[in-house]
Amino acid sequence: MAATKKLGKQTLALTNPPIIVGTSSVVGPKEGQGPLGKNFDLVLSDSLNGEKTWEKAERKMLRICCQKAIEEAGLTQENIDFMMAGDLLNQLISANFTARDLGIPFIGLYGACSTMFEGLALGSMIIDGGYANHILAAAASHYDTAERQYRFPTEMGIQRPLTAQWTVTGAGGVVLADSGRGLAVTHVTIGKVIDLGINDPNDMGSAMAPAAADTMIRHFIDTGRKPSDYDLIITGDLASVGRALTEQLVKQAGYDISKNYTDCGILIFDPSQDTHAGGSGCGCSAVVLTGYLLKEMKAGKFKRILGIGTGALLSTTSSLQGETIPGIGHAVVIEAYPLNTQ
Residues binding a second copy (CB under 8 A): 1-6, 9-10, 12, 16, 53, 55-56, 81-82, 86, 89-93, 96-97, 99-100, 103-112, 118, 122, 125-126, 128-133, 149, 178-179, 190-195, 313-318, 321, 323, 326, 328
Residue 281 vs 291, nearer CB to a second copy: 281
The least CB distance from residue 175 to a second copy, in Å, is 14
Nearer to a second copy, 53 or 76 (CB): 53
CA gap 156, 178 in Å, rounded: 48
Residue 142 beta carbon to a second copy: minimum distance, rounded to whole angstroms: 12
Q: Which is nearer to a second copy, 36 or 174 (CB)?
A: 174
Toward a second copy, which CB reaches closer, 12 or 174? 12
Exposure string for 214-253, b = 16+ CB within 10 A, e = fewer: bbbbbbbbbbebebeebebbbbbbbbbbbbebbbebbeee
What's the min distance (Å) between Cβ of 296 and a second copy?
29
What single-letter amino acid sits at 83? Answer: M
Name the residue nearer to a second copy (CB basis): 155 or 299: 155
Dihedral class, residue 112 (left if φ above 0, else alpha if ψ from -120 to 50, else beta): left
* Least Cβ distance, residue 43 to a second copy (angstroms): 25
- For residue 233, is it left (φ>0), alpha (ψ between -120 and 50) or beta? beta
Whichever of 36 and 184 has its CB closer to a second copy, that residue is 184
User: Which residue, 194 or 216, is less far from a second copy as judged by CB?
Assistant: 194
Task: Please spell the DSSP secondary structure of 44-100, one letter per residue.
Answer: -SSTTTTSSSHHHHHHHHHHHHHHHHHHHTT--GGG--EEEEEESSGGGHHHHHHHH
Q: Is 299 exposed, middle or buried (0-12, 13-18, 19+ CB in 10 A)?
A: exposed
Q: CA 185 → CA 49, 91, 123, 232, 336, distances in Å?
A: 32, 29, 10, 15, 9
d(CA 281, CA 33): 18
Q: Minimal distance in Å, beta carbon 186 to a second copy?
A: 14
Question: Closest distance between a second copy and the C-beta of residue 246, in Å?
Answer: 19
Provide, rounded to whole angstroms, the least separation between the CB of residue 62 and a second copy: 13
